[in-house]
Amino acid sequence: MRLEDLLRAFGVPLAVVDGQRLAALASDALALIDDNALLSCFVNADEVARCMRLPDQQLAEREEEARVEIAANTVQKRARAFLGRRRAAWQRCEAEAAARIVRGWRSRQNLRDLRARLARDRAERDATWRATQADFGVRWGEMRWEPRIIVHVPSLSYSEARAGDSLDLAMCRDEPFVTRHRN
């Protein structure tokens, strides 16, 4: 595996390995295996050594690897950004939908509460009116013969010209007419 890594690191296009030398090198457990020892296992060692000594080729290989890595990082960065924007848009849609549901629920709840309050107020007014009518009906026999005051309030729905025919509207706006009536 180290031999492959060495060839890949230096970008050697073609290397012919002498299997007997490689086996002899591998069988000697005490031998120091360095790059020169591995280089002696190649049949075309001079060509491999030339490739290993060329700094431009090493630099070109490293630059190519760097360009590939930069390109891969750029693609990954843009993909993550795209996915992030899409996820953010989806979350924004979900939040807006949830807000709409909450607003609708609150509106329905408020409408139901308003209707209940209006029904309660209407029932109270009706009860008060019925009590007033019942009291009036009970006391009508006494009230019928008592002196009372009749108050005439001019109608505000009439126009000034029409109301002016029957009343002096300027005078009546500030004070109602009061008439004493006896039976």
pLDDT digits (tens, 9 = 90+) for 41-51: 888 888 877 77
Residue 108: pLDDT over 70: yes
64 or 110, greater pLDDT: 110
- Per-residue pLDDT, 180: 47
The pLDDT of residue 130 is 94
More confident residue, 90 or 65: 90
Residue 122 scores a pLDDT above 90: yes
* pLDDT: which is higher, 64 or 182: 64
Least confident of 9-18, 93-102, 169-178: 169-178
Q: Is the pLDDT of residue 29 over 50?
A: yes
Q: Mean pLDDT over residues 12-16, rounded?
A: 81
Residue 183 has pLDDT above 50, yes or no: no
Average pLDDT over residues 15-33: 79
pLDDT reported for residue 145: 81
Per DSSP, the residues of the chain read -HHHHHHHHHT-S---B-HHHHHHHHH-TTS---HHHHHTTBTTHHHHHHHHH-HHHHHHHHHHHHHHHHHHHHHHHHHHHHHHHHHHHHHHHHHHHHHHHHHHHHHHHHHHHHHHHHHHHHHHHHHHHHHHHHHHHHHHHHHTTS-EEEEE---TTS-HHHHHHHS-HHHHHHS-EEEEE--
The pLDDT of residue 110 is 96
Q: Does pTM surpass 0.75?
A: no
pLDDT(8) > 70: yes
